[in-house]
Structure 1
């Protein structure tokens, strides 16, 4: 079945899906993606749920999949790193998202090139969606956004991290800060609509677990599996966009040729290559694209693509575990960078810089990196987002702070009544 008005269908489908206790919508927003299987996929209702709580959560996921291999959608929180490595998390956490949560949907709908397919559930569910009201009430309270870090403290912290680089503890670290609002009353559906309009991205998504929401405008893929091939696409390198076409072209070219940004990017490419080597057939890890420059509404990003052939002896869920969390959100060396993140960041990351996505019946999967995302706890009214960037020896702390504000701009704009 074809869709005449995809925009209207998306609005109606989100209203419909968000009425369930659990749902996940993943949207490419029309970006060309050689590795993407769908332009839009909508999973609603929880036929069966895994909220892993043991010390071996990835093993729980493996057992969950093997008991009923089929479509499942889920969340991998950043703090799963503590299961993978000898690490801990001590920061404050106002959201308390599950560390590993997957559900088997009651209803599943996919869109590819304006063709819509009901993968699970009765075909007449489309009639139900098409009769939904596509618009929703706007948020009715002003939101006061606060920062966990002053600019001065941010700069002081970056300088402290650079001393670790001087000592040889690390080469690069992704340092993040939280912006938050308390007692916020928002309509998550309406805010996600606005976010999608302000910042349409290829790995955006809406994830609801009862009264917890992730509203994501992520531009980054963590890891996907197509056939027997794993693909990861880390982002490192950011530049603002300009409304002036000539200036915009110059900004893009300057990012392409920026030695500092290339150095940051290649460090993470090497880290991801190392992560994939743990699951790969020997000699198959390769860099398919280095320093690709891609445009988004607010920023240009430098994106590289690394792939490998999955070793037949390695379970695909173990491959996810061995690459998690995304190297672009940690640093190099990875474990030491994660240790320092716990020391210097004020807030537990939780779902932020984790991943959300799906696993298909044939063992394929696709997960984004949860960045440029609003996290909302409806029961308490706690709303937050985190932004960060790569800190190297060559970084200028004040410029890094401004880059954080640039990355946050779409999220702030979304929250303005």
Structure 2
């Protein structure tokens, strides 16, 4: 049974998150509203009844996730307008792929972030921006006293913009990349040689940016979501390694047994000039290179989905659509299928992880090349954040445009798909097109005398 209690609707759900954040292990799956036109739901939760933290050397990581899910699952009925009815929320790092495929160990493992960190959340605040409603949703397993306390807490503070009482976020030095421009282009030349030698068709290669900070990362996230409103944003709170994600990309959705994935391949920067902006958008539409790059990943994801979907159900209803965000235009395709009865959303996640749009093709060889050329492991970058509801519904992102705070360091990544006709200079500049709005936003917090 699901308990639903109405709450005041807020066009911006931040105050709800700030209200429940002190309860611990708070999560904010953020649609990017009110500025982002694409997203629909915000899901906010805290105080999980159970947590699971695993690293990639755990051979049965996804089996343990399945056991956690099964432990709390009861007779939940899926509802069209209620995506989350209690369930698992958390992150899955890119390196969790090592629990599925045997990979070389070459890149530096610099982070203590678990490769999987999830909680079982039996209550949540769910905002539907389409219907302009907000509900406190709770599983019947939630203690009645706790539910009453939550209702009082949210009813008292929700109509007012709650002010987080914590130190402001400040960078103490500018971001720096882990590869110089010549080093990055040399790595791309190595990828190009491997492509022409027939090792692979495409490799998603990235660089990492690093800075240091003081204060509360939540304040950084609030600033970032203003300049980069995206439909798969998220703030995953933690005492040691909070995650700030401003992702525009969906990984896997399961709704009424229908599976959807929306890979992004192909990017152009935005311009303040309407004429130039339209020219850049049209250039992306017309680009033969970007179409080929996108189609390679669509074929890879069709193959991944076919392993867990019913025969002949995998389709491509949208190919090469254009979506425009604050700083870039993206080329996006949609692949769908029907989940086989013998599979669950978790087995779907395991069979498709990590997402093909951020590895390359063929997937395993591309991952081996990434491991040999990128200096540091990706951790949360190019992994996934999302929920697996106890009703069987799932929605997850690809964690591009994502930052990790650990100790006093903050990390951000950017990359792109390299194919046979890639131009190294353009690929290098594209990484900055993707994250400059994030880095510049945080650079604004530097002390005024610090050059950047």
Smaller-chain TM-score bracket: over 0.9
TM-score between the two structures when normalised by the length of structure 1: 0.94
1:173-322 equivalence runs, <5 A: 173-182=203-212, 184-322=213-351
Q: Does the aligned pair in 2 maintain the 1:223–1:231 contact within 8 Å?
A: yes
Tell me the distance in 2 between the aligned counterparts of 1:329 and 1:20. Answer: 34
The alpha-carbon deviation at position 94 of structure 1 amounts to 3.2
1:6 and 2:35 are equivalent in the alignment: no
Report SS of the residue matched to 1:94.
Answer: coil
CA distance in 2 between partners of 1:310 and 1:80 (Å): 23
SS of equivalent residue, structure 2 residue 242? strand
Tell me, which stretches of 5 or more residues in structure 1 are unaligned? Answer: none
The structural deviation recorded for 1:16 is 2.7
Deviation of 1:283 after TM superposition, in Å, equals 0.5
Cα deviation for residue 93 of structure 1 reads 3.2
Partner of 2:399: 370
306-315 or 149-158, which moves further after superposition? 306-315
> Does residue 68 of the first structure (1) align with residue 72 of the second (2)?
yes
Comparing 170-179 with 88-97, which one deviates more in the overlay? 88-97
Q: RMSD value over aligned CA atoms?
A: 1.8
The answer to whether 1:58 aligns with 2:62 is: yes
The structure-2 alpha-carbon separation of the partners of 1:129 and 1:352, relative to structure 1 and needing over 3 Å to count, comes to farther
Return the offset for 1:350: 1.0
Which of the residues 162, 172, 184 maps onto 1:154?
A: 184
Q: Contact 1:285 / 1:308 at 8 angstroms: preserved in 2?
A: yes
Alignment of 1:12-161 (within 5 A): 12-30=15-33, 31=36, 38-52=40-54, 54-69=58-73, 70-105=86-121, 107-113=123-129, 114-120=132-138, 121-122=147-148, 123-130=151-158, 133-134=162-163, 137-161=167-191
Could you tell me whether the CA contact under 8 Å between 2:27 and 2:235 is conserved in 1? yes
Could you give the per-residue CA deviations for residues 363-386 of structure 1, whole angstroms, max 9, x where no partner exists?
110000111011101xx2121011
Instruction: Give me the whole-angstrom Cα distance separating, in 1, the residues matched to 2:170 and 2:279.
Output: 41
- How far is the alpha carbon of 1:201 from its aligned partner? 0.3
Relative to structure 1, is the Cα distance of residues 237 and 250 closer, same or farther in structure 2, using a 3 angstrom cutoff?
same
Distance of aligned partners of 1:353 and 1:67 in 2 relative to their CA distance in 1, 3 Å threshold: same
Match of 2:413 among 379, 386, 394: 386
Instruction: Report if aligned partners of 1:96, 1:350 keep a CA contact under 8 Å in 2.
Output: no
String of CA shifts for 1:319-349, please: whole Å, max 9, x gaps: 1110110111000000000000000001101
> 1:321 and 1:129 mapped to 2: Cα distance?
40
Q: Tell me the SS of whatever aligns to 2:48.
A: strand
Q: Secondary structure at the match of 2:426?
A: helix
Q: For structure 2, list consecutive stretches of 5 or more residues without a partner in the other structure.
A: 1-5, 74-85, 139-146, 446-452
- Does the 8 A contact of 2:404 with 2:410 survive in 1? yes
Q: Aligned in 2, Cα 1:162/1:413: closer, same or farther, shift over 3 Å?
A: same
Query: 1:267: Cα distance to partner?
Result: 0.4
Does 79-88 or 365-374 show the bigger shift? 79-88
Relative to 1, partners in 2 of residues 1:388 and 1:119: Cα closer, same or farther, differing over 3 Å? same
Structure 1 residues 200-229: Cα deviation after superposition (integer angstroms, max 9, x where no partner): 001000012332111010000010101111
Pick the aligned partner of 2:368 from 339, 343, 347. 339
Shift, 1:141, TM fit: 4.5
| 1:359 and 2:388 matched | yes
